Structure 1
Amino acid sequence: MSSTTLRRRLHHRDLDGKRNERYEVNQSMSSDDDLGEPLLGPHNRYDHSEGCTLAEILDEGRAQERLHWTLLFSHLIAQWAQWLANIVLGSGSFIGRFLPFLPLLTQSGSTTKLLPPPLNPLQEARLKHLKLRVAVPFDGSSVQHQDALKQLWLLAYPNREFPSLKSELWKDMGWQGCDPSTDFRGGGYVSLENLIYFAKEYPKSFQNLLNKQNGERSEWEYPFAVAGINISFMLVQMLDLQSGKPSTLAAIHFLDLLSEDDRAFDDLFCIAFEMLDAQWLAKRASYMEFNDVLKSTRTQLERELALEDISSVKDLPAYNLLAR
């Protein structure tokens, strides 16, 4: 069965007679309650107190109290050590570089975050520029954004005529409907920029993933373009790009990569896409498992960012998956 035929099956209301199953998929993808990720459903919530005895509740309360005081004590030590490092040793020393990773108690008292390191002027400027890019929503009425969609089409299909902005042909690229602008809820304009960068800088990898040329494919494949939007959205969350200061380990490591290359975010997107497809094949996954594959991709990427001697995106082991 050709890849085009497989993609078109995603948009049929009836998949092998399973109308209810298809209806549920559409419900989760169109819900306004999710985090804006077209292929990801809402997170499950559990009530851990249900069915607990009084003794268990008291034990849990004492455990929470011990955790509170432990974290508070760590917070005081971290503040004192940070002050000492800045005054006596300077932020460039070994200890000065290590101390920002000590735990800091958040206002909720239930989660720990990291003390953000001091940023040099280059990091400040590039991080600010990246956050501005992330904040731009996709606007279907913008001529610039329409031109970007046209550019993506011509990069993906150089021998095919550009269709209208609303056409069934967009489904061939892996958009969910005939109007791509409706799929940008989570990723924003930066996700379209990521896809264009991928097509221009790594055309061989881009075409391989677009046309599902590697490995033994599932009968119900993930749609290429929408998967790209999900990857952009995942990276924005992982790298803390919508918060005031980076406070996760991956985000802090990413700042070092950003100081070496102002296109580090776009390259990381390309790497993550290749990683996702490799895990998709390894797990023999199907459409309904996309959420799990994306989560495992994030976990693997966070591990690679935490490796020693990683000073640029090209030092990441998964960079070798990319082909020009």
Structure 2
Amino acid sequence: MTSRTLRRRLHHGDVDGKRHEQFETSGLDVLSEPLLGNKEYDDSLSEVRAALWDDERRKEHIHWTLLFSHVIAQWAQWIANIVLGSGSLIGRLLPFPFATQNGQTKNFLPPLLSPLQEARLRNLQQRLQVPFDGSCVEHQDSLRLLWQLAYPDRELPSLKTELWKEMGWQGSDPSTDFRGGGYISLENLIFFAKMYPDAFQNLLHKRDGNRAEWEYPFAVAGINISFMLVQMLDLQSGKPTSLAGIQFLKLLSEDEMAFDNLFCVAFQMMDAQWLAKRASYMEFNDVLKSTRTQLERELALEDTFNVKDLPAYNMLKR
């Protein structure tokens, strides 16, 4: 029986496969002692008291069982970090998280979070729920801001024009490209342009390396990277249970904007993979998969506590 199942059963009062017995009383006259002794009454009262005592013992048992299950969960997570850490023997032999037979990443016990982690994870998950809305003034202003950051010396165009294709949108209306990416993918691009302007400009204008004849579209690639990170980090669950997601929670405790910073690292990493593979437009999905694999490996490093600890972070140029 898993700790999760145990907690669920305890929550419903089902210990050892049995429900709590219910004891009905008739009020104060049952619990108060009579002035004169009455054997039948005393026997009945003793039974009720015994039942109430048993009930209290069950509650105490539940409390300690829950506490014990939390301790076991913490130990299991600690052992998993040691076993899968890159510094351990198994970590060196298997630098990538264990996978099931169908190739899906194996889930681990959800960790116990600090109040700070809980708050930051909740805020991030709320951001993920916001779809891009082309009719929303705030979202329109964000698109304009992205253009100004990308092309500070050029005139701001209308929201529907062929000029947006130069940034790597597929059509004249950028709002049609977001789909599952949501508003957070636009926030990620803006964060990248603000925090790492040189790296942003290098990727936007494809300045590094020998480029392919058919290059990946910059803006749409960013949306795909945001979506990939959400899936990899298991952020649509209540609490992440993938190894990468659990490791990400450590980064989140150190940096409230860990997701946005990780997006910048992943984008830079994806471009490096693109150049190394000499890929072209039709191979973008393969490059994205390779990027995910490399990023998961770096997140699994035992000395990673901040996005800046990732080896790939060094590729970003301020």
Structure 2 residue runs of 5 or longer lacking an equivalent are 8-63, 84-96
Structure 1 residue 113: Cα displacement: 1.8
For residue 258 of structure 2, what is the amino acid of its counterpart? A
For residue 139 of structure 1, what is the amino acid of its counterpart? D
Structure 1 residue 111: Cα displacement: 8.1
For residue 306 of structure 1, what is the amino acid of its counterpart? A
1:238 aligns with 2:232: yes
Instruction: Describe how 1:1-324 pairs up with structure 2 within 5 A.
Output: 75=2, 86-87=67-68, 90=71, 95=75, 97-98=77-78, 112-324=106-318
For residue 192 of structure 1, what is the amino acid of its counterpart? L
In the alignment, what sits opposite 1:48? none
SS in 1 for 2:272: helix
Please say which structure displays the higher CA radius of gyration: 2
Which stretches of structure 1, 4 residues or longer, exceed 6 Å deviation after superposition? Answer: 76-80, 100-103
Contact 1:116 1:246 in 2 (8 A): yes
Measured on the aligned residues, the alpha-carbon RMSD in Å equals: 2.8
Distance in 2, matches of 1:241 and 1:120, equals 17
Report the CA distance shift for 1:152/1:276 in structure 2 as closer, same or farther (over 3 A).
same
Distance in 1, matches of 2:76 and 2:154, equals 56
Report the CA distance shift for 1:244/1:77 in structure 2 as closer, same or farther (over 3 A).
closer
Contact 1:78 1:99 in 2 (8 A): no
Identity of aligned residues (%): 70
Contact 1:271 1:318 in 2 (8 A): yes
Q: Provide the aligned length of Structure 1 versus Structure 2.
A: 243
SS in 2 for 1:113: coil
Structure 1 residue runs of 5 or longer lacking an equivalent are 1-71
For residue 115 of structure 1, what is the amino acid of its counterpart? L
Distance in 1, matches of 2:235 and 2:291, equals 18
Distance in 1, matches of 2:253 and 2:4, equals 29
Report the CA distance shift for 1:178/1:77 in structure 2 as closer, same or farther (over 3 A).
closer
Structure 1 residue 242: Cα displacement: 1.1
Structure 1 residue 77: Cα displacement: 12
Over residues 289-311 of structure 1, what are the superposed CA-to-partner deviations in whole Å (9 max), with x where a residue is unaligned? 00000000001000000001111
Report the CA distance shift for 1:277/1:85 in structure 2 as closer, same or farther (over 3 A).
farther
Contact 1:85 1:96 in 2 (8 A): no
In the alignment, what sits opposite 1:18? none
TM-score by length of 2: 0.71
Contact 1:86 1:96 in 2 (8 A): no
For residue 171 of structure 1, what is the amino acid of its counterpart? K
Structure 1 residue 87: Cα displacement: 3.0
Report the CA distance shift for 1:119/1:89 in structure 2 as closer, same or farther (over 3 A).
closer
SS in 1 for 2:181: coil
Contact 2:106 2:242 in 1 (8 A): no
Report the CA distance shift for 1:197/1:112 in structure 2 as closer, same or farther (over 3 A).
closer
SS in 2 for 1:114: coil
Distance in 2, matches of 1:247 and 1:272, equals 21
Distance in 2, matches of 1:77 and 1:194, equals 34
For residue 275 of structure 1, what is the amino acid of its counterpart? M
Contact 2:73 2:111 in 1 (8 A): no
Contact 2:265 2:316 in 1 (8 A): yes
Report the CA distance shift for 1:76/1:323 in structure 2 as closer, same or farther (over 3 A).
closer
Distance in 2, matches of 1:310 and 1:317, equals 9
Report the CA distance shift for 1:89/1:194 in structure 2 as closer, same or farther (over 3 A).
closer
For residue 68 of structure 2, what is the amino acid of its counterpart? I
SS in 1 for 2:180: coil
